[in-house]
Chain A
Amino acid sequence: LAKTTQPISMDSYEGQEVNITCSHNNIATNDYITWYQQFPSQGPRFIIQGYKTKVTNEVASLFIPADRKSSTLSLPRVSLSDTAVYYCLVGPRGSQGNLIFGKGTKLSVKP
Protein backbone atom coordinates (compact mmCIF):
# COMPACT_ATOMS: atom_id res chain seq x y z
CA LEU A 1 0.00 0.00 0.00
CA ALA A 2 1.18 3.49 -0.82
CA LYS A 3 2.51 5.43 2.14
CA THR A 4 1.30 8.99 2.50
CA THR A 5 3.00 12.04 3.97
CA GLN A 6 1.10 15.12 5.10
CA PRO A 7 2.01 18.17 7.17
CA ILE A 8 1.28 17.61 10.84
CA SER A 9 -0.51 20.93 11.22
CA MET A 10 -1.57 24.07 9.37
CA ASP A 11 -2.98 27.41 10.46
CA SER A 12 -5.30 29.64 8.48
CA TYR A 13 -7.72 32.52 8.91
CA GLU A 14 -11.38 32.70 8.14
CA GLY A 15 -12.15 33.42 4.51
CA GLN A 16 -8.85 32.13 3.18
CA GLU A 17 -8.37 29.24 0.79
CA VAL A 18 -6.50 26.34 2.35
CA ASN A 19 -4.48 23.81 0.40
CA ILE A 20 -3.29 20.64 2.10
CA THR A 21 -0.83 18.57 0.13
CA CYS A 22 -0.32 14.85 0.51
CA SER A 23 2.69 12.99 -0.93
CA HIS A 24 2.29 9.42 -2.12
CA ASN A 25 5.35 8.66 -4.19
CA ASN A 26 4.72 4.93 -4.58
CA ILE A 27 1.08 5.15 -5.56
CA ALA A 28 -0.02 2.18 -7.66
CA THR A 29 -1.84 2.31 -10.97
CA ASN A 30 -5.13 1.16 -9.47
CA ASP A 31 -4.95 3.33 -6.34
CA TYR A 32 -7.45 6.06 -5.61
CA ILE A 33 -6.91 9.05 -3.35
CA THR A 34 -9.47 9.74 -0.65
CA TRP A 35 -9.70 12.49 1.94
CA TYR A 36 -11.54 12.35 5.25
CA GLN A 37 -12.28 15.07 7.81
CA GLN A 38 -12.49 14.48 11.55
CA PHE A 39 -13.88 16.93 14.08
CA PRO A 40 -12.97 16.56 17.75
CA SER A 41 -14.87 13.78 19.49
CA GLN A 42 -16.40 12.54 16.23
CA GLY A 43 -15.65 9.83 13.73
CA PRO A 44 -14.07 10.76 10.39
CA ARG A 45 -16.29 11.89 7.54
CA PHE A 46 -15.66 11.35 3.81
CA ILE A 47 -14.85 14.55 1.93
CA ILE A 48 -13.73 13.66 -1.57
CA GLN A 49 -12.15 10.98 -3.72
CA GLY A 50 -10.30 11.12 -7.01
CA TYR A 51 -8.04 9.25 -9.40
CA LYS A 52 -6.50 11.94 -11.61
CA THR A 53 -6.80 15.60 -12.65
CA LYS A 54 -9.40 17.51 -10.68
CA VAL A 55 -12.49 16.58 -8.72
CA THR A 56 -14.83 19.10 -7.15
CA ASN A 57 -17.83 18.77 -4.91
CA GLU A 58 -19.81 21.09 -2.68
CA VAL A 59 -17.21 20.87 0.08
CA ALA A 60 -13.77 20.79 -1.54
CA SER A 61 -11.65 20.30 -4.62
CA LEU A 62 -8.99 17.67 -5.14
CA PHE A 63 -6.11 18.33 -7.51
CA ILE A 64 -4.02 15.42 -8.72
CA PRO A 65 -1.07 16.04 -11.09
CA ALA A 66 -0.35 13.79 -14.01
CA ASP A 67 2.28 11.73 -12.18
CA ARG A 68 -0.17 11.19 -9.26
CA LYS A 69 2.69 11.24 -6.74
CA SER A 70 0.93 13.91 -4.73
CA SER A 71 -2.49 15.41 -4.31
CA THR A 72 -3.84 18.65 -2.92
CA LEU A 73 -7.05 19.11 -1.01
CA SER A 74 -8.37 22.62 -1.48
CA LEU A 75 -10.89 24.13 0.92
CA PRO A 76 -12.30 27.42 -0.36
CA ARG A 77 -12.99 30.27 2.05
CA VAL A 78 -12.58 28.33 5.28
CA SER A 79 -14.56 29.14 8.39
CA LEU A 80 -13.97 28.36 12.06
CA SER A 81 -16.06 25.23 11.63
CA ASP A 82 -13.48 23.81 9.22
CA THR A 83 -11.06 23.35 12.12
CA ALA A 84 -10.46 19.61 12.05
CA VAL A 85 -7.98 16.89 11.21
CA TYR A 86 -7.76 15.97 7.53
CA TYR A 87 -6.60 12.51 6.44
CA CYS A 88 -5.26 11.52 3.05
CA LEU A 89 -5.68 7.85 2.17
CA VAL A 90 -4.40 5.97 -0.84
CA GLY A 91 -5.49 2.52 -1.87
CA PRO A 92 -7.22 0.48 -4.55
CA ARG A 93 -10.95 0.45 -4.84
CA GLY A 94 -12.34 -2.45 -2.92
CA SER A 95 -9.29 -2.53 -0.63
CA GLN A 96 -11.55 -3.56 2.24
CA GLY A 97 -9.82 -2.53 5.38
CA ASN A 98 -6.36 -2.02 4.04
CA LEU A 99 -6.54 1.74 4.05
CA ILE A 100 -4.24 3.47 6.53
CA PHE A 101 -5.37 6.73 8.10
CA GLY A 102 -2.08 7.99 9.47
CA LYS A 103 -1.91 11.03 11.75
CA GLY A 104 -3.47 13.47 9.33
CA THR A 105 -3.13 17.25 9.16
CA LYS A 106 -4.57 19.29 11.97
CA LEU A 107 -6.04 22.46 10.46
CA SER A 108 -6.69 25.36 12.81
CA VAL A 109 -8.79 28.21 11.46
CA LYS A 110 -8.54 31.46 13.35
CA PRO A 111 -10.92 34.43 13.31
Chain B
Amino acid sequence: NAGVTQTPKFQVLKTGQSMTLQCAQDMNHNSMYWYRQDPGMGLRLIYYSASEGTTDKGEVPNGYNVSRLNKREFSLRLESAAPSQTSVYFCASTRGQAGEETQYFGPGTRLLVL
Protein backbone atom coordinates (compact mmCIF):
# COMPACT_ATOMS: atom_id res chain seq x y z
CA ASN B 1 0.00 0.00 0.00
CA ALA B 2 1.25 3.48 -0.88
CA GLY B 3 -0.88 5.14 1.79
CA VAL B 4 -1.49 8.79 0.95
CA THR B 5 0.20 10.17 -2.14
CA GLN B 6 0.41 13.78 -3.28
CA THR B 7 1.41 15.37 -6.55
CA PRO B 8 3.33 17.42 -7.35
CA LYS B 9 6.03 17.41 -4.68
CA PHE B 10 7.11 20.95 -5.49
CA GLN B 11 5.63 23.74 -7.58
CA VAL B 12 6.48 27.34 -8.39
CA LEU B 13 3.67 29.61 -9.55
CA LYS B 14 3.41 33.22 -10.53
CA THR B 15 0.80 35.41 -8.89
CA GLY B 16 -2.55 34.89 -10.58
CA GLN B 17 -1.80 31.46 -11.98
CA SER B 18 -3.99 28.52 -11.12
CA MET B 19 -3.15 24.96 -10.22
CA THR B 20 -4.60 21.82 -8.71
CA LEU B 21 -2.93 19.76 -6.02
CA GLN B 22 -3.76 16.10 -6.22
CA CYS B 23 -4.17 13.68 -3.36
CA ALA B 24 -5.03 9.99 -3.41
CA GLN B 25 -5.27 7.29 -0.74
CA ASP B 26 -5.45 3.54 -1.15
CA MET B 27 -6.61 2.64 2.37
CA ASN B 28 -10.34 2.76 1.59
CA HIS B 29 -10.71 5.68 3.97
CA ASN B 30 -13.91 7.67 4.09
CA SER B 31 -12.58 11.05 5.21
CA MET B 32 -9.92 13.23 3.63
CA TYR B 33 -8.35 16.55 4.59
CA TRP B 34 -6.23 19.38 3.21
CA TYR B 35 -3.94 21.33 5.53
CA ARG B 36 -1.41 24.06 5.00
CA GLN B 37 1.69 24.57 7.11
CA ASP B 38 3.59 27.82 7.09
CA PRO B 39 7.20 28.00 8.35
CA GLY B 40 7.42 27.45 12.09
CA MET B 41 3.68 27.03 12.39
CA GLY B 42 1.34 24.19 13.05
CA LEU B 43 -1.05 22.78 10.51
CA ARG B 44 -4.20 24.68 9.61
CA LEU B 45 -7.17 22.92 8.09
CA ILE B 46 -8.29 24.27 4.71
CA TYR B 47 -11.09 21.89 3.73
CA TYR B 48 -12.16 18.40 4.57
CA SER B 49 -14.44 15.75 3.16
CA ALA B 50 -16.12 13.55 5.73
CA SER B 51 -17.29 11.14 3.06
CA GLU B 52 -17.51 10.81 -0.68
CA GLY B 53 -19.75 13.53 -2.06
CA THR B 54 -19.37 15.94 0.84
CA THR B 55 -16.94 18.75 1.54
CA ASP B 56 -16.74 21.30 4.35
CA LYS B 57 -14.69 24.39 5.09
CA GLY B 58 -11.97 24.30 7.67
CA GLU B 59 -10.15 27.11 9.39
CA VAL B 60 -8.64 28.83 6.32
CA PRO B 61 -10.73 28.06 3.18
CA ASN B 62 -10.50 31.43 1.42
CA GLY B 63 -8.74 31.26 -1.95
CA TYR B 64 -9.19 27.50 -2.30
CA ASN B 65 -11.67 25.06 -3.75
CA VAL B 66 -11.81 21.30 -3.37
CA SER B 67 -13.26 18.35 -5.19
CA ARG B 68 -13.84 14.89 -3.77
CA LEU B 69 -13.57 13.13 -7.10
CA ASN B 70 -14.27 9.68 -5.69
CA LYS B 71 -13.53 7.82 -2.50
CA ARG B 72 -9.80 7.70 -3.27
CA GLU B 73 -9.10 11.20 -4.54
CA PHE B 74 -9.42 14.67 -3.04
CA SER B 75 -8.02 17.63 -4.96
CA LEU B 76 -7.28 21.19 -3.89
CA ARG B 77 -7.46 24.01 -6.41
CA LEU B 78 -5.98 27.47 -6.27
CA GLU B 79 -7.84 29.56 -8.85
CA SER B 80 -5.64 32.65 -8.64
CA ALA B 81 -2.52 32.04 -6.61
CA ALA B 82 -1.23 34.74 -4.25
CA PRO B 83 2.14 34.99 -2.46
CA SER B 84 0.29 34.47 0.84
CA GLN B 85 -0.48 30.95 -0.35
CA THR B 86 3.18 30.02 -0.35
CA SER B 87 3.20 27.08 2.03
CA VAL B 88 3.53 23.33 2.39
CA TYR B 89 0.27 21.55 1.72
CA PHE B 90 -0.53 18.24 3.36
CA CYS B 91 -3.30 15.87 2.51
CA ALA B 92 -4.53 13.38 5.10
CA SER B 93 -7.13 10.67 5.40
CA THR B 94 -8.92 8.76 8.14
CA ARG B 95 -11.25 5.82 8.23
CA GLY B 96 -13.83 8.31 9.41
CA GLN B 97 -15.48 6.17 12.02
CA ALA B 98 -15.73 6.81 15.72
CA GLY B 99 -12.70 5.32 17.40
CA GLU B 100 -10.69 5.30 14.17
CA GLU B 101 -9.73 8.92 13.66
CA THR B 102 -6.00 8.46 13.24
CA GLN B 103 -4.97 10.74 10.41
CA TYR B 104 -2.54 9.40 7.83
CA PHE B 105 -0.63 12.13 6.08
CA GLY B 106 0.94 12.40 2.66
CA PRO B 107 4.48 13.67 2.07
CA GLY B 108 3.36 17.21 1.27
CA THR B 109 3.46 19.60 -1.67
CA ARG B 110 5.77 22.59 -1.38
CA LEU B 111 4.25 25.57 -3.17
CA LEU B 112 6.06 28.82 -3.88
CA VAL B 113 4.05 31.71 -5.30
CA LEU B 114 6.11 34.55 -6.72
Contacts and interface: CB of A to CB of B under 8 A. Distances in A.
* Main DSSP-derived SS at the A contact region: loop
B83 to A, nearest CB: 21
Contacts of A42: 105, 107-108
Contacts of A94: 97-98, 101
Contacts of B102: 34, 46, 49
Contacts, number: 59
Contacts of B45: 97, 99-100
Interface of B: 4, 31, 33, 35, 40-45, 48, 50, 56, 58-59, 90, 92, 96-99, 101-108
Given A43-B108, A97-B33, 5 more contacts: A43-B4, A96-B31, A97-B50, A101-B42, A101-B43
8 contacts: A43-B4, A43-B90, A99-B45, A99-B101, A99-B103, A101-B35, A101-B43, A103-B40
Interface of A: 34, 36, 41-46, 49, 87, 93-97, 99-104
